[in-house]
Homo-oligomer: A and B are copies of this chain.
Amino acid sequence: MISNKTKYGLKALAFLSKQEKGILVPISTIAESENISQKFLESILLSLRKAGFLGSKKGKGGGYYLLKDAKDIKVASIFRILEGPIAMVPCVSLNFYEKCSDCPDENKCSVHRLMIQIRDNTLAILENSTLADFVI
């Protein structure tokens, strides 16, 4: 299960990608349209801006906008910012690797192998789909 944070983030990005280029969308508009708590969405968009996905403009008439083309934003990278690891166990994560304390030898661990299989498959989808692909 992914967190609401990730789900909301994806929805917000999808919303922004549907706008015409150059349009600034205030948080309130997205929050109302997608039924998300405005304050919560605020912190999510902040993360996405700091991660380099979004630009923003303050003050009256301000708002958020996509910095890159939707087709150049991989879903996998959004996931890593908002959710963290994509793998199901830390010991098979490429970007957030951590050793399992209970496992003396990963190569002899049955679970390890299974999890690598799942990770590779999920990654194949997430690395190959962009914001442009999944937006309706």
Contacts and interface: CB of A to CB of B under 8 A. Distances in A.
Interface of A: 1-2, 7-8, 10-11, 14, 34-36, 75, 84-85, 87-90, 100-104, 108-111, 113-114, 117-118, 121-122, 124-126, 129, 134-136
How many monomers of this chain does the complex have? 2
A110 B1 contact: no
B89 A1 contact: yes
A121 B125 contact: yes
Pairs of residues from A and B, 10 with the lowest C-beta to C-beta distance, nearest first: A35-B102, A14-B110, A114-B134, A2-B88, A110-B135, A10-B111, A110-B136, A110-B134, A121-B121, A118-B125
A11 to B, nearest CB: 6
Contacts of A117: 125, 129
B1 A102 contact: no
Contacts of A103: 35
Of A88, A129, A135, the most chain B CB neighbours within 10 A belong to A88
A99 to B, nearest CB: 12
Given A121-B122, A136-B113, A34 B102 contact: yes
B1 A111 contact: no
